[in-house]
Amino acid sequence: MRKRKIIIALSVVLILVSGFICKDIAGSINNEDAILTFLEESDAVIEESMLTGWNIINEKFMDQQEISLKFDEIISVFGFNEENIIKEFETHEDMNKGILSIKEDGSKYTITIESFRNKDQGEKTYLSLIVVFNGFYKNLFEHRNYMEEFYAKVDLPIELDIVVIGNFAGKVTKELAESTINKLLNTIDANEVESIKNQELISISAYSRKIDDFITSNGNKINVQIGMRYSQYYDKTYIWIGSPIIPFEY
């Protein structure tokens, strides 16, 4: 079983958001299909599906040429069309940054490599990745596994969180919001670990033994996050589902 050794305070966990569910699956039940079926049968309009993650890839300072060559490896391995690619660079004495943007088949890939050198000559290089699909992407889990495997082939190991963002028309009552979340938790046999519930926000962190990936928060395992909040501006109730966490504010 894979374990992400991350300790997250309750307040931080419940600020982070936007997601989906499950890494490697244990047991006979296909929880990926159960989650997809739940979303498809719900009244939620799925706006975006995404994969996102970051990692320290090495402890050395990379110049623009080295970053560009690493981007070329990514392009070659994934077979991206050159016409759909944009490379951007920012270079300073103690920081080099490259952004590789690709738009293909209704999806957008943003790969960022940032390299730093501090005053005491410590050096580190970071990789971040965001893949955004318009609407509901049925092959999200397969694509996540594919991405992790191929990034490892170019010596850029990364673990990706799954995120899905949807909405319900109008303002959903607190009771209906809690009922929707409980139905999803029951679908994957997950137990609530931490939560915030008030008039503005419902945010749940939970753990399912049937999902073989997790982080640790306050000594508890977490591998599912769900949030719901009403937007008066859009007159919609938004739902975020993430696994293991939703790594941005909502």
Domain boundaries, the chain: 10-51+163-243, 53-157
Would you say residue 27 has pLDDT above 90?
no
pLDDT of residue 35: 64
Distance CA 184, CA 179 (A): 9
Q: What is the pLDDT of residues 181-218, one digit of tens each?
A: 888 898 888 999 999 988 889 999 999 887 777 889 88
Q: How confident is the model at residue 34 (pLDDT cuts 50, 70, 90)?
A: low
Distance CA 178, CA 192 (A): 12
Would you say residue 232 has pLDDT above 90?
yes
Q: What is the pLDDT of residues 106-158, one digit of tens each?
A: 899 999 999 999 877 789 999 999 999 998 887 887 888 889 998 998 889 99
Would you say residue 85 has pLDDT above 70?
yes
pLDDT of residue 217: 86
Amino acid at 54: W
pLDDT of residue 248: 84
Mean pLDDT (whole number) for 221-229: 91
Distance CA 159, CA 104 (A): 22
Percent of the chain with pLDDT over 70: 84
Would you say residue 81 has pLDDT above 90?
no
pLDDT of residue 22: 31
Mean pLDDT (whole number) for 15-28: 32
Q: What is the pLDDT of residues 98-107, one digit of tens each?
A: 999 999 888 9
Question: Could you tell me how many residues make up the chain?
Answer: 250
pLDDT of residue 23: 34
| Cβ-based neighbour number of residue 208 at 10 Å | 23
24 vs 132 pLDDT, higher one: 132
pLDDT of residue 33: 58
Indicate the pTM of the whole model.
0.79
Cα dist. 100→47, 68, 69 in Å? 24, 9, 12
24 vs 240 pLDDT, higher one: 240
Q: What is the pLDDT of residues 36-75, one digit of tens each?
A: 667 767 778 999 999 999 999 999 999 999 999 999 999 9
pLDDT of residue 101: 97
In sequence order, what are the residues at sequence separation of 6 or more whose Cβ sits closer than 8 angstroms to the Cβ of residue 61? 96, 115, 116, 117, 123, 125
CATH for 53-157 is 3.30.2030.10
Instruction: Quickly name the fold that domain 10-51+163-243 has.
Output: Protein Transport Mog1p; Chain A (3.40.1000)
Check the CA dihedral 197-201-205-210 and report its sign. positive
Amino acid at 149: E
Pick from 76, 79, 77: which is nearest to 104 by CA? 79
